[in-house]
Structure 1
Amino acid sequence: MTGFNCSFTAQLVGDLPLVGLNSSWDDSASANSEVPAIEDSWDYKKRPIRGVNLGGWLSLEPFITASLFDYDASKGVVDEYTLCKHLGAKKAAETLEKHYATFITEADFKAIADAGLDHLRIPFSYWAVRTYEGDPYVPNISWRYLLRGIEWARKYGLRVKLDLHGLPGSQNGWNHSGRSSQINFISGPDGAKNAERALDIHRQLATFFAQDRYRNVVAFYGLGNEPGFALPLDDLEEWTVAAIKVVADAGIQVPQIFSDSMRGLPTWKGKLGGTGQDLIIDTHMYTIFDPNLIAMEHAKKISLVCNDWKSMVVNSMSGANGFGDTMVGEWSQADTDCTLHLNGVGGGSRWEGTFSDTIGRPRCPTGDDSCSCDKANADPSTYTDEYRLFLKTFAIAQMDAFEKSWGWFYWTWKSESAHQWSYEAGLKGKFMPEIAYKRDWDCSKSVPSFGKLPRRTKQDVTVANQKNQFLATRSFSSTRPRPTANATFLF
């Protein structure tokens, strides 16, 4: 309980405990001099979110904390489900409590505010609230750390977006939902039951976070991270409408957030009307999970963001080509998919041609056997000045583009070794702006020269032509780890 405000009571709200919370709180802090205090109003259409995710903390992801998944392949430890099953209840509780207590600490919240960021997206999973028969997950412990994290956010003036990252049955079948498996949410043998369970979870959560204590610091309420593309759209829309009502009826007054489900922003145009609630669509933007975009020249990636991605966000915000109010809940600086376990434990990479959808054909610029992840996975201290400049420009371009929406949340704040997915590593390695709202470049300026960075030498895929075809039908939205060969790709 180190670091908690140690007040205890038998009182429950939404059948959830108030453990560790003092009876009073102070919302007078602001993240920095440029933004309002938590107790004051924020006009998101005039002042965008500049935020970061606390990924891999309360919902495990193997590529963020690879050490927790350092087992022989024969053990089959590939996600939080199999990790907890392998360790057993007692050891799993000890292991995860240590992780929760040490991976993210109060010092991180201060560093986030010092970096000029002002919002946090905090992913957590349903077992923070309850577990079901057959679940090996560690129940309830992460709940204490979620509450502690919100209080630390309040202390440093950071507003919070709650993000239910793992839903009963797994909403997408990927490891960040808790279990790498077939989707068993809405669809699947227990899909209907798990969809109802998720509504029950939201009823508890919304009842708890509707308390006066959270009216200012919790700025957004997320319904579920990245429901699978394979889910029938009509069924997903029906569940989303039901969830919106459950949350609103419990007293939540802040905007609710729903995922575009990796379908692209235009898919949701005209949908979810008549709910009477403030709704925002959340899209996630990456280039590296597409076999064509991953091979783009560095300067062209900057142009893609500044032109095409910015236009998509603007169109979506206007309702011309999407839902309306929009935010970008995830993005990164990574320009390869080389990070260990990014595509699932033992999943390989598109860059080297070892991922299942590449059939042995590397997707790196040269497209031949000279491709290697060694440089991509190297320590940032070894980066050349040109590569450091590219990474920083790539980050700023995305910030600039995404601020045409309600704003952005970088994925993620820290990691053990996924350097190009860590805002903290970018700051330390000087390939991220020192202060998020003070930037020395923007999309109105010419793309800088990146010197002798590798360019494509085999143009067996004409990216430019294919890009125009994609723009006509899709949003450039993709997801993180894709551990199975039959995953559907948007591009």
Structure 2
Amino acid sequence: MMSCFNLKTWLLSLVFLSYLLSLSHGIPNKEFRVRAVNLGGWLVTEGWIKPSLFDGIPNKDFLLWRLNENSFRFRVFNNQFVGLDGINVVAVSSVSTDSEKFHFVKEGGNSSLVRIKSSNGYFIQAKTEDLVTADVSEVNGWGEDDPTIFVLTITSRFQGEFQVTNGYGPRKAPQVMKKHWRTFIVKEDFKFIASNGLNAVRIPVGWWIASDPTPPSPYVEGSLNALDNAFLWAQEYGLKIIIDLHAAPGSQNGYEHSSSRDGSQDWGKTDQNIQQTLHVIDFLTARYANSPSLYAIELLNEPRAPGATIENLTKYYKAGYEAVRRHSHTAYVVLSTRLGTSNSREILPIASGLNRSVIDVHYYNLFEPQLNNITVQQNIDFILTNRSSQLNSVTTSNGPLTFVGEWVAEWQIEGAMQKDYEAFAKAQLDVYRRATFGWAYWTFKNIRNHWSLEWMIKNGYIKL
């Protein structure tokens, strides 16, 4: 049996650079609010964006795309971008172009006041409650009643490698990421892993790794070299590696750990998108097929239903399996179950026809709403009863192997003592070691102690 764990989003990112903006315009008692994720995220409007402007649907969320330090595009519902119809500010196109670019002009210093200049060179203004226009050429001062002035405040954040590299920009991002790769996971960590009886690492990677050293903007060079180092260290200490495609082009789940640009989920919507993902699998398998440390390729981490349909996933998993087999007949092929569905057996028919295939399930009590505000013992009982049953349901005598690819000894309990965490972790280990392929802890290093397997081992919370 294989005991695995995960090296945090190592080849994605751990460095969070986040901004969330809030804007309000100068018309008294009216409000225009923008929440921007890392200068590239959610945009919410109230007040002057009226139903008549956006197909009768009021107060819908926007997605704010950061292009550089002060330039943005606004994407609204139905994936349309805000642009100009003459001088009127409207949702105009499903394709992002320069004509939908807006520029933030700040008052200066530490002021929170900004103006928004449109692609036509004019400033936008809230002309009436029903009309927003880009027709102001001359502005003077920063008076409170000027309808071209907006107030900007930081309110929240969005994470992920796209946000980090896009947020820092092309000059600073390479420095930040290279320092991260050089210092966060090092050779001594692999020595620690092996000396504690663990025998494998599950390493998440992003799709842009196949284009290194010239990945598409805003990603930067270096992730492939980091993975190469991991293989060298793994071989030295006798460890195996599971390469996990954690971020697919377009994002397979819309979450920051899949490097979503703005929270949208676009993976699998086109054949081109799927073919691009297959190219990544082909590239990674070909590169490491002859390494004695390559143990498995995970085709896709946590695709989310209903956006990632079972039809598209079936098509991709079968093609991904063939891509791996072109280069290796021994590497296991790992198929992740979908988020957002209770039917973890739905990919059994796919995996059952594939040699050396593995079904990956992820178990987090922390994210189960029904487990909030229950006792320590109730959490443990849920592991021993419910998780055991769930794992048994995907484990078959002659079928694919099973892998608890992510779990963590953390929960929604205030004031839990170390002995409580020890019991919770032990219960999970007792159940998850029954998985016929093994388990992986999320994660090896983390700023939150209980999410860090290294910290949990060093402090006696987890005993292997």
What range is the shorter-chain TM-score in?
A: 0.5 to 0.7
Query: Equivalent of 1:202, from 265, 269, 281?
Result: 281
1:240 aligns with 2:201: no
Matched residue, 1:184: 266
Deviations 1:407-435 (A, max 9, x none): 1010000112x1111111212332111xx
Deviations 1:192-226 (A, max 9, x none): 32211001111211211222xx1x31111111111
CA shift for structure 1 position 259: 0.2
Unaligned 5+ runs, structure 1: 1-47, 337-363, 365-374, 377-385, 437-491
Q: What residue identity is the alignment partner of 2:234? A: A
Q: What residue identity is the alignment partner of 1:299? A: Q
* Distance in 1, Cα, partners of 2:282 & 2:195: 35
Structure 1 52/251 Cα, relative in aligned 2: closer, same or farther at 3 Å? closer
Q: What residue identity is the alignment partner of 1:240? A: Y
**What's the secondary structure of 1:204's corresponding residue?**
helix
Q: Is the 8 A contact 1:80 1:137 kept in 2?
A: no
Matched residue, 2:249: 168
**What's the secondary structure of 2:173's corresponding residue?**
helix
Deviations 1:416-460 (A, max 9, x none): 2x1111111212332111xx1xxxxxxxxxxxxxxxxxxxxxxxx
**What's the secondary structure of 2:346's corresponding residue?**
helix
* Distance in 1, Cα, partners of 2:344 & 2:409: 22
Matched residue, 2:175: 94
Q: Is the 8 A contact 1:126 1:167 kept in 2?
A: yes
* Distance in 1, Cα, partners of 2:5 & 2:353: 31
Q: What residue identity is the alignment partner of 1:130? A: S
* Distance in 1, Cα, partners of 2:4 & 2:372: 25
Q: Is the 8 A contact 1:331 1:410 kept in 2?
A: yes
Q: What residue identity is the alignment partner of 1:424? A: E
Matched residue, 1:286: 364
* Distance in 2, Cα, partners of 1:140 & 1:422: 27
Structure 1 247/149 Cα, relative in aligned 2: closer, same or farther at 3 Å? same
Matches within 5 A, 1:45-64: 48-60=1-13
Matched residue, 2:446: 415
Matched residue, 1:298: 376
CA shift for structure 1 position 131: 7.3
* Distance in 2, Cα, partners of 1:413 & 1:302: 22
* Distance in 1, Cα, partners of 2:347 & 2:258: 23
Matches within 5 A, 1:246-257: 246-257=323-334
**Alignment: residue pair count:** 325
* Distance in 1, Cα, partners of 2:457 & 2:297: 28
* Distance in 2, Cα, partners of 1:236 & 1:283: 15
Deviations 1:127-164 (A, max 9, x none): 12217999433344110010101111121121111111
CA shift for structure 1 position 73: 2.4
Task: Please tell me whether Structure 1 or Structure 2 has the larger radius of gyration of its CA atoms.
Answer: 2
Q: Identity over the aligned pairs, expressed in percent?
A: 26
Q: Is the 8 A contact 1:306 1:401 kept in 2?
A: yes
Matches within 5 A, 1:419-430: 419-430=449-460
Matched residue, 1:155: 236
**What's the secondary structure of 2:335's corresponding residue?**
strand
Q: What residue identity is the alignment partner of 1:53? A: N
* Distance in 1, Cα, partners of 2:444 & 2:455: 8
Q: Is the 8 A contact 1:55 1:412 kept in 2?
A: yes
* Distance in 2, Cα, partners of 1:252 & 1:132: 28
* Distance in 2, Cα, partners of 1:229 & 1:178: 17
* Distance in 1, Cα, partners of 2:455 & 2:215: 38
* Distance in 1, Cα, partners of 2:215 & 2:433: 43
CA shift for structure 1 position 319: 6.0
* Distance in 2, Cα, partners of 1:387 & 1:197: 48
Q: Is the 8 A contact 1:209 1:252 kept in 2?
A: no
Matched residue, 1:76: 37
* Distance in 2, Cα, partners of 1:314 & 1:59: 32
Between 93-102 and 132-141, report the one with greater CA deviation. 132-141
CA shift for structure 1 position 70: 4.8
Between 75-84 and 200-209, report the one with greater CA deviation. 75-84
Matched residue, 2:81: none
Structure 1 182/131 Cα, relative in aligned 2: closer, same or farther at 3 Å? farther
Q: Is the 8 A contact 2:345 2:393 kept in 1?
A: no
Matched residue, 2:88: none
Pairwise CA RMSD: 2.3
Structure 1 140/58 Cα, relative in aligned 2: closer, same or farther at 3 Å? same
* Distance in 2, Cα, partners of 1:49 & 1:273: 20
Deviations 1:273-326 (A, max 9, x none): 444x32100000011112211222110111111222123323322269xx6421
Structure 1 391/165 Cα, relative in aligned 2: closer, same or farther at 3 Å? same
1:326 aligns with 2:402: yes
**What's the secondary structure of 1:265's corresponding residue?**
coil
Q: What residue identity is the alignment partner of 2:288? A: F
**What's the secondary structure of 2:5's corresponding residue?**
strand
Matched residue, 1:115: 196
Q: What residue identity is the alignment partner of 2:419? A: L
Structure 1 266/250 Cα, relative in aligned 2: closer, same or farther at 3 Å? same
CA shift for structure 1 position 256: 0.4
Q: Is the 8 A contact 1:206 1:252 kept in 2?
A: no
Q: Is the 8 A contact 1:426 1:432 kept in 2?
A: yes
**What's the secondary structure of 2:244's corresponding residue?**
strand
Q: What residue identity is the alignment partner of 2:276? A: R
Matched residue, 2:55: none
Structure-1-length-normalised TM-score: 0.62
Matched residue, 1:136: 217
Q: Is the 8 A contact 2:338 2:344 kept in 1?
A: no
1:270 aligns with 2:349: yes
Q: Is the 8 A contact 1:127 1:137 kept in 2?
A: no
* Distance in 1, Cα, partners of 2:352 & 2:18: 48
Query: Equivalent of 2:424, from 394, 406, 412?
Result: 394
Structure 1 107/266 Cα, relative in aligned 2: closer, same or farther at 3 Å? same
